[in-house]
């Protein structure tokens, strides 16, 4: 108890001294750039603590011609607490992340609050190679592995929500070849059932991602945050590709979705991604392609009919960051399903424009976007349109 009290007093006094120095806003932003940092050099201990809150308003119209609301909603979309660092040895790494909102719990599909998002231990084999074991994001499509707090729109695209392979429990190996123009190989073997299930079977998921940066590294790790907030002084490009095969998964999204009720009901799912990112002097452009394939995409699970989304999608978006840290961005997303997977249901198009104000980069920002969403019903060959407006405040360290 005495040690905890000393720690609290040290933290309080240090923050109080910092406040009395009357630091400029820029100094405050840089002070918390890596979160709240606790370090003991002699013990080789480092802990970086950070949090963030996303508060969102959403309006959805009844259809493209009737602007009366079908949905009006205020929500705390995400509340996250993250802890990462090293312990006993600079090469022994750890990371934890917890979530505290219903949407993050995945409660509607799992019927229990799943607070834990990440819990992984890593070992840095060399400057170029790191091994991770535990629960964390798989090396999937770029927009998914880019934090939800580092998006240039209010949220990720429809491609991501339909096809992403999310988090899983297993091991991962990251290896970099070269440094001036690095080529990354990222490989994972995992359960294939995601973070929200206790199901065990004799099938695993195998995921591989490759990335090449032909013009060198991005400033401040800019290949993994959206928008050119680093204002690259030279053109930078990253090209990536992913293949994931999930054997005997018991959920329609592989790592996502409600678990099948029928015992021994499973499917094999293959997912492919390709992505391209370009940044230069405040301009950013990114494109992703996704495809999912499975045998027998429509089947019965007890009294219900289950459909795995078998099809393809493309998402492309571009933005420009002005000197006053206001960014405008445009996005186009298209999904087209194979008839076997979703007969009579939808090809989907979404057109989105966004305006964001970055106060402290992605840590503190205000964002808004307006989307026109249209679905094509293949049976009727008619489009059904809808307007969606969202505004979001994000704050964190």
Task: Please give the model's pTM, rounded to 2 decimal places.
Answer: 0.89
How confident is the model at residue 31, as a pLDDT? 63
- Supply φ then ψ for residue 10, to 5 degrees: -65, -45
Q: How confident is the model at residue 334 (pLDDT cuts 50, 70, 90)?
A: very high
Residue 12: the pLDDT is: 47
The whole-number pLDDT of residue 187 equals 98
Q: Return the closest-CA partner of residue 249 out of 272, 271, 266.
A: 266
pLDDT of residue 6: 52
- Please compute Rg for the chain using Cα positions: 22
Query: Mean of the per-residue pLDDT values for the chain?
Result: 90
CATH class of 32-396: mainly beta
pLDDT given for residue 197 in this prediction: 67
- For 33-78, the DSSP string reads TT-EEEEETTTTEEEEEEEEEEEEEEEEESSSS--SEEEEEEEEEE
Are residues 169 and 191 in contact, defined by beta-carbon separation less than 8 angstroms?
yes
Looking at the chain, the whole-number percentage of residues with pLDDT higher than 90 is: 73
Please, what's the b/e burial string for 137-166 (b: 16 or more CB within 10 A of its CB; e: otherwise)?
A: bbbbbbbbbbbbbbbbbbbbbbbbebbbbb
- Give residue limits of the domains in the chain: 1-31, 32-396
- Coil, helix or strand at residue 338: coil
Residue 155 has pLDDT above 90, yes or no: yes
1-24 average pLDDT score: 51
pLDDT tens digits, one per residue of 162-221: 999 999 999 999 999 999 999 999 999 999 999 866 766 789 999 999 999 999 999 999
Q: How far apart are CA 115 and CA 97, in angstroms?
A: 9
How far apart CA 183 and CA 177 sit, in angstroms, is: 5
pLDDT tens, 94-145? 999 999 998 888 776 777 788 999 999 999 999 999 999 999 999 999 999 9
Q: Report the DSSP pairing between strands 183-190 and 205-212.
A: antiparallel
Cα-based distances in Å from 248 to 4, 205, 341, 389: 47, 9, 18, 39
Alpha carbons 295 and 338: distance in angstroms, whole number: 12
Contact 34, 82 (CB under 8 A): no
The DSSP output letter for 336 is E
Exposed / middle / buried, residue 253 (Cβ in 10 Å: 0-12, 13-18, 19+): buried
Centre a 10 Å sphere on the Cβ of residue 249 and count the other Cβ atoms it contains: 30
Which of 95-109, 151-165, 303-317 is least confident? 95-109
What is residue 312's predicted lDDT score, i.e. its pLDDT? 96
Q: What is the pLDDT of residues 33-56, one digit of tens each?
A: 788 999 998 889 999 999 999 999
Q: What is the pLDDT of residue 21?
A: 54
**Residue 236 predicted with pLDDT over 50:** yes
Q: Which pLDDT value is given to residue 242?
A: 98
Q: Are 224 and 145 in contact (CB under 8 A)?
A: yes
**% of the chain exceeding 70 in pLDDT:** 88
At 24, phi and psi to the nearest 5? -70, 160
* Structure tokens given for 154: 């209010």
| The pLDDT value given to residue 344 | 63
């Amino acid at each position: 108890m005495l040690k905890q009290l000393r720690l609290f007093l040290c933290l309080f006094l240090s923050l109080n001294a910092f406040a009395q120095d009357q630091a400029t806003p820029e100094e405050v932003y840089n002070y918390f750039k890596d979160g709240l940092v606790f370090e003991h050099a002699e013990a080789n201990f480092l802990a970086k603590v950070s949090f963030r809150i996303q508060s969102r308003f959403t309006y959805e119209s009844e259809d493209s011609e009737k602007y009366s609301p079908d949905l009006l909603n205020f929500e705390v979309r995400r509340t996250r607490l993250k802890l990462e660092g090293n312990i006993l040895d600079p090469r022994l790494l750890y990371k934890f992340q917890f979530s505290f909102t219903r949407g993050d719990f995945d409660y509607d599909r799992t019927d229990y609050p799943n607070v834990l998002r990440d819990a992984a231990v890593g070992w840095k084999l060399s400057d170029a190679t790191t091994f991770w074991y535990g629960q964390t994001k798989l090396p999937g499509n770029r927009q998914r592995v880019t934090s939800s707090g580092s998006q240039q729109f209010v949220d990720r695209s429809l491609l991501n929500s339909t096809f992403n392979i999310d988090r899983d429990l297993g091991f991962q190996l990251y290896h970099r070849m070269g440094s001036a123009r690095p080529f990354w190989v990222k490989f994972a073997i995992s359960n294939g059932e995601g973070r929200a299930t206790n199901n065990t079977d004799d099938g695993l998921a195998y995921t591989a991602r490759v990335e090449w940066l032909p013009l060198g590294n991005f400033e401040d790790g800019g290949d993994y945050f959206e928008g050119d907030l680093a204002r690259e002084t030279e053109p930078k490009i990253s090209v990536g590709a992913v293949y994931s095969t999930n054997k005997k998964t018991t959920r329609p999204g592989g790592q996502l979705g409600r678990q099948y009720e029928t015992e021994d009901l499973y499917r094999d799912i293959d997912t492919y991604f390709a992505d391209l990112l370009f940044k230069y002097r405040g301009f950013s452009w990114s494109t992703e392609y996704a495809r999912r394939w499975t045998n027998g995409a429509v089947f019965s699970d007890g009294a219900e009919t289950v459909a795995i989304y078998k099809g393809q999608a493309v998402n492309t978006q571009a933005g420009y960051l002005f000197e006053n840290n206001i960014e405008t961005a445009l996005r186009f997303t298209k999904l087209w399903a194979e008839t076997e997977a979703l007969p009579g249901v939808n090809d989907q198009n979404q057109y989105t424009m966004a305006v964001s104000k970055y106060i402290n980069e992605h840590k503190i920002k205000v964002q808004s976007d307006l989307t026109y969403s249209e679905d094509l019903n293949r049976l009727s060959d008619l489009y059904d349109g809808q307007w969606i407006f969202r505004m979001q405040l994000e704050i964190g360290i």
